Structure formats: structure tokens, C-alpha cells
């Protein structure tokens, strides 16, 4: 094995990376089996297969039924789940520290010995299609998929994680096996734990239970080519108007993302933010109004989301544009900047009270940067953001010709951009 000089990171000769964080004062653990694979690695013809596989890994192995997978964890007072993003798939378990090995063994069994029974594939496709319909019926979720489909048009990042109904109905056992063989490779495999765990024990469990000979590497590059901004209207039989305005910006690999995060706090995160105060508190025209920053390794989407009624949407957009102009032409005060920084730092620190959040944070750090970036390092960077940084970034981001707007409503509303 090859040990990193960084504490609690071990890379085995086969390429698996093992990462742990020991927290002595808790009695539990969160253990994640991560693959650096998501919908970004798909093509239109198999879009949705990463997420579908996430479901299918729970549907039975050579020695366990779906029910037994659940029972073997829940009988120990533990919890098992998974999620798929555009860049990752994570299978994770939580439990008391003395139950780390049986939890590890169940996850290892799922990832190496799932059978993908054609009958289960047929049943689960109906379940995932129902999930897709739920998204279609939830405009506050659907609009974000539509927004990224426009912003990342022509790129795999623009495809929805859940895929398409056509694809979900067409997946066969061979499709799943071929996708796993091609993409679930040792160099994309990360075993990450946070809690009352021993790193050397975690390494020994990996060597004991990971016996499948995964393909060694997947060298496919994730490419990105951005198109000029354009608007999208989606007609839905809904009462409210749902609206997003935003654009691509800096991803995790760029330190300027920290400035975007602070700007997002000032503009639209929290009840003291400018947009919440202006639209909801002063004008009473939007129940939901907030900014968002959805980040990937090389790019993020940053924007403003609101829902309101048809009569108020034009005024709401006008008020949004006015707030953007203010940020472009006048520096924020030191007091407002400090408040945004403290809000952001407070959220980061409070999230660390969960071992699952900590596990996810260090996994993402190691996958993206090859090291565990300390919380102190992140906080230090937040504190260095200046009023001039906010002013310069506002002028860079808020050029109306580079902003994409997506509107979901029951009728096409022509929203004029500000002059």
C-alpha cells in the first residue's frame, strides 16, 4: 500500500483511496463508499443510468435480498442510504462504532455482488419514473433542472440526474453491468468515514472485504463548453410563477468561488439579505425568494429563485434588477459584509456537528483536491473577502446580456429586461 503524507489518507496499490476523520467524543460513525461517477459521465442515450444504478444496488446481491440488506443494518440500529449527483455517487451507512465492520461488509457486498435481476430492474424503473413525475409536479424542483439544461446546453452537465422516461423504460441488465464495468473503477473509488473510527482498522476492512477486481482506471475527461445566455419559458398548469435568473460562475477549483458565496449571502440568503428584505418584507410579493450557488469542480451555477403570482412577477423582476444595479455601483458596507461572512461561517461550523456532513465534506475535498482542506483554511479565505471583491464580482456577474432567465407558469409572460 502507499500511504499519503497527509494524515488519515491511504491509497492502496490498486488505486482505492481510504480517508477517515476520528472524532473521539461521538459514539457513532458515518461511512461512505464514493464513486467519482454521476450523470455528467453519461450520454443522452443512457442519461439517468447513474441514478438508476444507485437504486439497483439495494435490490439484492448473490447472498442477500433487498429486505435482508435493510434488515442487516437496521437490526444493529443503523441506517443505510445513497445519493447521486452530477459528479458523484455515494452509498453510505451510519451506526454505532462497534458496528462499523458489519456495515462495511454490507456496503461491500452491495457494490461487488449485486445481481441486477431483470425482474427487479422492471419494478424499479416504475419507481424511478414515479420519482421523475414527482419532480415534474414540483415546479420548485423542476425549474432548477430546466435552468441547468439551458446554462449547460450541449454538455452532459445539462442533463437531469434522474434521466428520461424513455431511458428508464429501456435499461437492461447488460446496460447496468457494462456501465459499472466502465465507470466504477479503482481510481474513482473512495472509502470515507467520519466519527469514532480507527483509520488502520478501516484500511484492514477494505483489504478484507473489497475483493472484486474493478477495472483500474477510467481516463475519460469531463469537458465543458458554455453557450451564450438565452431565456426559456416552460408552460405548466400551476398557480404561481416560478422564476430563475442566473449564470455559470466559478467552480470548486477556483478560489473566487468563496467571493461568490459571500455575495450570495448578501444578496439573497437569510432573512436579513437584500432580496428578502426588499421583495418579501417591504413589498410582500414573494413567499420564496433566495439566491443559490450549485457547485461542481470546474463551474457553478449562481442565481436568484423566486415564486410569486402573475400580477407581481414584473414588479418582482424590476426590484431584483434594481438590487443588482446597487451592488454594481455602490460598495457594500463593512458591517453588511461582516454579517454575511459570519452567517456563512456559522452555517459551515454548525454543519460539522453531523458526522454525515463531515464525511461528505472530506470526501468532496479529497476527490476534488487530493487532500483534506481544513475548515480553518476555508474560514480564513472567507474572512479575507473585501468590499472591493464584492463590487468587482458584482460587475462581472450582473451583466444582463450574460444572464439566463427561466420562467415556469401557466401562460407565457414576456418579461422585459431592464433598459
Stronger pLDDT, 130 or 6, i.e. the higher one:
130
Whole-structure pTM value: 0.93
Q: Is 103 exposed, middle or buried (0-12, 13-18, 19+ CB in 10 A)?
A: buried
**53 in Cβ contact with 124 (< 8 Å):** no
**383 in Cβ contact with 346 (< 8 Å):** no
CATH number of the domain located at residue range(s) 2-209 in this protein: 3.30.830.10
Identify the pLDDT of residue 7.
Answer: 60
pLDDT tens for 130-143 read 999 999 999 999 99
Give the model's confidence band at 417: pLDDT under 50 very low, under 70 low, under 90 confident, else very high.
low
DSSP3 helix / strand / coil % (the chain, rounded to 5)? 50, 20, 35
The pLDDT of 14-34, averaged and rounded, is: 96
Q: Which of 88, 110, 344, 68 is nearest to 192 (CA)?
A: 88
**What Rg do the C-alpha atoms of the chain give, in angstroms?**
23
**210 in Cβ contact with 37 (< 8 Å):** no
The pLDDT of 139-157, averaged and rounded, is: 97
Among 71-85, 220-234, 321-335, 355-369, the least confident range:
220-234
Identify the pLDDT of residue 4.
Answer: 38
Cα distance between residue 284 and residue 136, in whole Å? 28
Identify the pLDDT of residue 228.
Answer: 93
Identify the pLDDT of residue 3.
Answer: 40
Identify the pLDDT of residue 411.
Answer: 83
CA 56, 57, 61, 65 torsion-angle sign: negative
HSE, side-chain direction, 13 A CA sphere, residue 180: 21
- Which of 21, 42, 54, 323 is catalytic? The answer is 54
Identify the pLDDT of residue 216.
Answer: 85
Percent of the chain with pLDDT over 70: 97
71 is catalytic: no
Percent of the chain with pLDDT over 90: 92
Q: Does residue 400 carry a pLDDT above 90?
A: no
The pLDDT of 326-337, averaged and rounded, is: 97
- CATH topology identical between 2-209 and 232-409: yes
The pLDDT of 17-21, averaged and rounded, is: 97
Give the model's confidence band at 5: pLDDT under 50 very low, under 70 low, under 90 confident, else very high.
very low
Chain centre to alpha carbon of residue 26: 26
Give the model's confidence band at 6: pLDDT under 50 very low, under 70 low, under 90 confident, else very high.
very low
Q: Does residue 219 carry a pLDDT above 90?
A: no
CA-based end-to-end distance of the chain: 63
- Locate the DSSP E strands across 138-297: 189-195, 232-235, 241-249, 288-295
Give the architecture-level CATH label for domain 232-409.
Answer: 2-Layer Sandwich (3.30)
Chain mean pLDDT for the chain: 94
The pLDDT of 160-180, averaged and rounded, is: 98
The pLDDT of 39-44, averaged and rounded, is: 97
pLDDT tens for 226-271 read 999 999 999 999 999 999 999 999 999 999 999 999 999 999 999 9
Domain-wise residue ranges, the chain: 2-209, 232-409
Identify the pLDDT of residue 214.
Answer: 87
Among 32-46, 88-102, 210-224, 335-349, the least confident range:
210-224
Amino acid at each position: 500500500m502507499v500511504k499519503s503524507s497527509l494524515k488519515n489518507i491511504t491509497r492502496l496499490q490498486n488505486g482505492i483511496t481510504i480517508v477517515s476523520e476520528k472524532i473521539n467524543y461521538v459514539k457513532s460513525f458515518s461511512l461512505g463508499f464514493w464513486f467519482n461517477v454521476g450523470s455528467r459521465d453519461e450520454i443522452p442515450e443512457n442519461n439517468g443510468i447513474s441514478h438508476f444504478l444507485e437504486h439497483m444496488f439495494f435490490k439484492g446481491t448473490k447472498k442477500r435480498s433487498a429486505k435482508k440488506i435493510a434488515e442487516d443494518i437496521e437490526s444493529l440500529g443503523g441506517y443505510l442510504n445513497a445519493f447521486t449527483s452530477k459528479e458523484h455517487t455515494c452509498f453510505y451507512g451510519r451506526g454505532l462504532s462497534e458496528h462499523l465492520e458489519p456495515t462495511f461488509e454490507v456496503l461491500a457486498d452491495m457494490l461487488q455482488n449485486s445481481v441486477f435481476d431483470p425482474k427487479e430492474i422492471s419494478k424499479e424503473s416504475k419507481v424511478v419514473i414515479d420519482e421523475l413525475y414527482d419532480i415534474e409536479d414540483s415546479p420548485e424542483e423542476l425549474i432548477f433542472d430546466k435552468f441547468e439544461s439551458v446554462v449547460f446546453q450541449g454538455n452532459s452537465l445539462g442533463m437531469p440526474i434522474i434521466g428520461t422516461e424513455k431511458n428508464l423504460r429501456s435499461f437492461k441488465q447488460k446496460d447496468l453491468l457494462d456501465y459499472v464495468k466502465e465507470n466504477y473503477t479503482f481510481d474513482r473509488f473512495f472509502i470515507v468515514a467520519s466519527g469514532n473510527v480507527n483509520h488502520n482498522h478501516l484500511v484492514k476492512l477494505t483489504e478484507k472485504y473489497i475483493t472484486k477486481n474493478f477495472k483500474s482506471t477510467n481516463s475519460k475527461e469531463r469537458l465543458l463548453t458554455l453557450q451564450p445566455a438565452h431565456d426559456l419559458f416552460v408552460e405548466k398548469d400551476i398557480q404561481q410563477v416560478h422564476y430563475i435568473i442566473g449564470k455559470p460562475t466559478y467552480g470548486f477549483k477556483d478560489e473566487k468561488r468563496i467571493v461568490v458565496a459571500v455575495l450570495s449571502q448578501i444578496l439573497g440568503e437569510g432573512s436579513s439579505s437584500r432580496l428578502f428584505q426588499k421583495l418579501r418584507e417591504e413589498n410582500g410579493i414573494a413567499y420564496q425568494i433566495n439566491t443559490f450557488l450549485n457547485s461542481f469542480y470546474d463551474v457553478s451555477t449562481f442565481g436568484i429563485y423566486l415564486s410569486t403570482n402573475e400580477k407581481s412577477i414584473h414588479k418582482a423582476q424590476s426590484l431584483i434588477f434594481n438590487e443588482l444595479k446597487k451592488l454594481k455601483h455602490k460598495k457594500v458596507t463593512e458591517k453588511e459584509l461582516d454579517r454575511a461572512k459570519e452567517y456563512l461561517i456559522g452555517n459551515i461550523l454548525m454543519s460539522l456537528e453531523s458526522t454525515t456532513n463531515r464525511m461528505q465534506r472530506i470526501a468532496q475535498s479529497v476527490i476534488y483536491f487530493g487532500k483534506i482542506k481544513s475548515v480553518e483554511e476555508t474560514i480564513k479565505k472567507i474572512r479575507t473577502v473585501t468590499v472591493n471583491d464584492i463590487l468587482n464580482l458584482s460587475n462581472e456577474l450582473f451583466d444582463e446580456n450574460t444572464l439566463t432567465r427561466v420562467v415556469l407558469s401557466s401562460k407565457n409572460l414576456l418579461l422585459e429586461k431592464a433598459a
